[in-house]
Amino acid sequence: MSLKKTVEVSENRRLREDLDAANKRVTAAERQAETAVASLERSRKIAPPRKLKVGKVHSKGDFVEVVVGDIHGNQADPLAMAAFLADLKAIQPDRLILGGDIINCGGFLAEHHTLGYVAESTDSYFDDIAQTNHWLDEIENAAQPTERLYIEGNHEHRVERWVLGQKLAHHKDIEFLRRQFAPELVLNLKARGYDYFKRDTVYDTCGVPGWVKRDGVFFAHDMGLSKNAAAAALSRASANVVFFHTHRADFAATHLPGSGLITAWNPGCMCKRQPLYMHTNPSGWTHGYLVRFISRKTGNFQTVHIIIDNGVSYGGAILHK
Ligand SMILES: [Fe+2]
């Protein structure tokens, strides 16, 4: 074979090989395109994400509880209360827990309050009770939970302590005084459907006076005044606990071998954030309340803390879309 012929043959073989390689690349590209089209078609057949129903914040089997405290009657913050009441209307809880100090009783019987307390002497107890009755009416207008609890705080207890301290009075006079002054009676709590839990009575198996237990959580008006009150409450209760009294939102959680997961919550208060007796000290108080979603199937629950700030509920995005 001549040299020219040999070069031609080798050139033809190289061209054939290049052509084969190009054909293979085209076939692979076609397969890839087919796969992409098939996958696109499959994805079109998948149902779009289910739209969440606006305003429905819990599923059917759940039991919903709202917890609020430290309203302080005529010292309540009206904007914070308005925000809370609007949320309450949207939530429609099955249970409402009022955590104590729903009245203020700021001037009346101030000497029975803590050492160094400055009486809000322009306040009258009569006005305070009238205002607290108004808040209870507004709560009733917003929602009608089947279960209602009112835990006595130190402000309610002050009046009871004064009445019961009239040792020389006839028991009929004590009862007469109670009818005139005792928060439980002048707020018509029985007629309003509230169970009233007193600070000097032990309930169920709680073991501590004034404590109440519902669905795995203890409720107590006060668990101390320390800055890290939630962490302190956890170690004192060694159980799930909700407390009030410090007027500051607080949360702590831990998991212990003996108890498993336990949490402590303080929802904050609903009263004016800077009272007279704090003088020039910033109080650090916060507004808010708790919502607890309790599964009737498992007993598990999820607690949500709703912050209210300057009369605006931060739960608004969930509740009022
Ligand atoms: Fe309190």
Distance 266 CA to ligand 1 centre (A): 12
Tens of each residue's pLDDT in the chain, 321 residues: 677 777 788 888 888 898 898 888 888 888 887 887 777 677 566 555 455 444 455 566 789 999 999 999 999 999 999 999 999 999 999 999 999 999 998 767 665 555 555 556 677 889 999 999 999 999 999 999 999 999 999 999 988 888 887 766 788 888 898 899 999 999 999 999 999 999 999 998 899 999 999 999 999 999 887 778 999 999 999 999 999 999 999 999 999 999 999 999 999 999 999 877 777 888 899 999 999 999 988 999 999 999 999 999 999 877 876
User: How far is the CA of 170 from the CAs of 161, 174, 189, 196, in angstroms?
Assistant: 16, 6, 25, 25
Which residue type sits at 304? Answer: V
Give me 12's structure tokens: 């033809």
pLDDT of residue 99: 98
Q: What pLDDT sits at residue 120? A: 60
* C-alpha of residue 221 to centroid of ligand 1, in Å: 7
DSSP label at residue 146: S
CA distance to 75, 99, 263, per residue, from 161 (Å) = 22, 19, 32
The one-letter amino acid at 201: T
Query: What pLDDT is attached to residue 52?
Result: 44
What separation in Å is there between the alpha carbon of 86 and the centre of ligand 1?
25
Q: What is the per-residue pLDDT for 163?
A: 83
CA 244 – ligand 1 centroid, Å: 7
What is the whole-number distance in angstroms between the Cα of residue 74 and the centre of ligand 1? 15
Ligand 1 centroid to Cα of residue 275, in Å, is 13
Percent of the chain with pLDDT strictly greater than 90:
58
pLDDT of residue 107: 66
How many angstroms does the Cα of residue 219 sit away from the middle of ligand 1?
Answer: 13
Ligand 1 center from residue 70 Cα (angstroms) = 7
Cα-to-centroid distance, 99 and ligand 1 (Å): 9
Ligand 1 centroid distance, CA of 263 (Å):
21
Q: How far apart are CA 105 and CA 123, in angstroms?
A: 8
Q: Which helix (H) or strand (E) holds 179?
A: helix 171-181
154 alpha carbon to ligand 1 midpoint, in Å? 5
Give the separation between CA 289 and CA 182, rounded to whole angstroms: 26
Predicted confidence at residue 162, as pLDDT, reads 84
CA of 209 to the centre of ligand 1 (A): 15
How close is the Cα of 169 to the center of ligand 1, in Å?
29
Spacing, Cα 61 to ligand 1 middle (Å): 34
Closest by CA position to 277, among listed 156, 82, 101, 104: 104
